[in-house]
Amino acid sequence: MNGFLLVGAGGAIGAMARYGLAGLIGRLWPMGFPLATLLINITGSIAMGVFVGLMARFLPPNQEEARLFVAVGILGGFTTFSSFSLDTIVLFERGAWLQAGLYVALSVVVCLVGLYLGLLITRGGPA
């Protein structure tokens, strides 16, 4: 149960940070391009890399609470793209190039198709 609370608390912080930053970016640079989402995904991915790197370098092994709160909770609530990025790099570092490529391709293509199908279902036909 403690893990759920850590992820939930971190997720709330991350989601509020994403909402606030997206609003700020939208006010500073209003445009049709999803700049806020792009910048949040980039920032979250960098933060995930920094956090995981610092954990590996400075914290004793098995720091599950810190990983749950920061990586899964805060950064997962801020952007799930950071988790996707970490999973992909872990596969690359393991030498699983084919799996990493397949993971990226399937994640992007299948998720886009899934979203489009969801829209088709709710709209009652092609857009």
Domain ranges of the chain: 2-78
Encoded amino acid at 28, one letter: L
Count the helix, strand and coil residues of the chain and give each as a percent rounded to the nearest 5.
85, 0, 15
Residue 18: per-residue pLDDT: 94
37: confidence class by pLDDT, cuts 50, 70, 90: confident
Structure tokens at 81: 């793209």
Euclidean distance between CA atoms 92 and 86, whole angstroms: 10
- Each residue of 66-109: pLDDT tens digit? 999 999 999 999 987 887 888 899 999 999 999 999 999 998 99
- Average pLDDT over the chain reads 89
Q: pTM above 0.85?
A: no
| Binding-site sequence positions for Na(+) | 76, 79
Please state, for a pLDDT cut of 70, what percent of the chain lies above it: 97
11 vs 58, higher pLDDT: 11
- Each residue of 54-76: pLDDT tens digit? 888 888 877 889 999 999 999 99
End-to-end CA distance of the chain: 43
Stretch (H or E) spanning 2? helix 2-28
What are the backbone angles phi and psi of residue 2, rounded to the nearest 5°? -55, -40
